[in-house]
Structure 1
Amino acid sequence: MSKKEKETNNTIIQEETFIRKWLIDKYNAIVPSFLEGEPKENMLHFVVGFDTKTNKPYSKLKVKILLPEIEKEVSKQNIKATTKTVRLKFLPILQIYKTLPTLTFKGSFTFQKESLTNQITFNESIYYYTTFTEYKEITTFSLKKFLSINNLLFKIQKTYHSTDKTNLFYQVGIYYYTEFYKFIRTYGYEMGGEREKLPFIYWYKLFFTYRHILFDRRYLFMEFTPYLYYSKEYDFHPKLFLNVSFNVKF
């Protein structure tokens, strides 16, 4: 829709406002959600798998119609190659929520600071479900490329649901991952809990994930995740589990 660029005091300022249509060939489905700086939306995610934690097969299907997204972005880059970006997005989504077709509005604010040594991202996303007049709020802070390791990520996330007004869900994780080719390997450690459960850190998880694209299609992949789980649920006795799944995601 519009694009402006100017230079002042050795700083390049770019401002863009546009409507973006969702394109299937632009989305890299192989990237795990916990490596994303903000929640990403998919038009379809179908998964079938088996987890030894429950000893039962499972399946999930999410289908969404993503309507054109309005986005405004302002970025500043100085002579030290540090870039600061502020991004505002508004995305209408038609989806099935609590068994009913629901028009959902997603609004997000992102601040990102990227330099040669690290990348800091803060994101605030709010989902409003019109059919039920409910909302969900997700706050995420992530730090990439710290400790001089390019593929190291530290992430904190908080989730709040308007239907559970006194509760709050929180999670902290650190991840090391390989580059994205036909496969990705991720080594991670997570811990978290919720306000209404004691202790404050209710569970811990140490895991390794191997995700591999099938038939050279980025939207088809297998995932293999052995993990060590330590939780109040099991009286803090460590348990070793395995999750295997087949995914269609785009």
Structure 2
Amino acid sequence: MRRTLPIVVALTLLGFSTGCAGDSGPVSTATTAVTASAAAPADEVTPDATSPAPAADSPTSTASAPAKPASDPKPAPPKAVPALTCGQLAGADLGSPKAPFYDHTDHIPLLDGIWNGEDGTGVALQKPCAIGDLDGDKAADAARAVVVRTGGTGQFWSVVFWHNAAGKPAYRTVVDLGDRTPVTSIGITGQKATVVWLTRSDDASMAELDTRRTTVYRLSGVTVTELSHTDTPYTP
């Protein structure tokens, strides 16, 4: 018994020493790991919480739209030419070198619709009159009946055409209808002049009027062309 006790005590002490040595290793390792993770690199810079963040690019709100190119001004529409009136013809001229009024190549100035020559010839406007575009320029021209008296029994009826020259009558030409063949009406439509007048058949005397004739004319410059005519019986 006395020899057994010292052996037991020695074994006990040996086990305690071994346990203490095993526990010291992990503790030292843990301490080293904590110390290494807590150390910060010397060159690391901590961002300043008070520094403003960089502003994002945004479109400029004051940018103006590109200017539109200036357009050319529209030309002003042409002024409308005033239509001629039958009253204006009372002071118009008759005749021209290109289109004589009977034998008159000079201008014959009408005064209140009348002209009297030194040879006894008299010219007078008659009531039948029409206003309308005869030459396609959209300005209203004129056509009117005229009577020429030569001092005898003759009364020569005609239709005179005037062009609208900036609102004033400009003589163009004349159509001779003959002796004692009165005009009853004149109309202008579609750049044509329609003249209704009285005449006589071939076997009637000069004193008789037995035919109503409707003639359609077209004016081109100083030339008048008959397009058509129709006759109907007439009884006074």
Larger Cα Rg: Structure 1 or Structure 2?
Answer: 2
Question: Larger helix proportion, structure 1 or 2?
Answer: 2
Give the structure-2-normalised TM-score: 0.29
Give the structure-1-normalised TM-score: 0.28
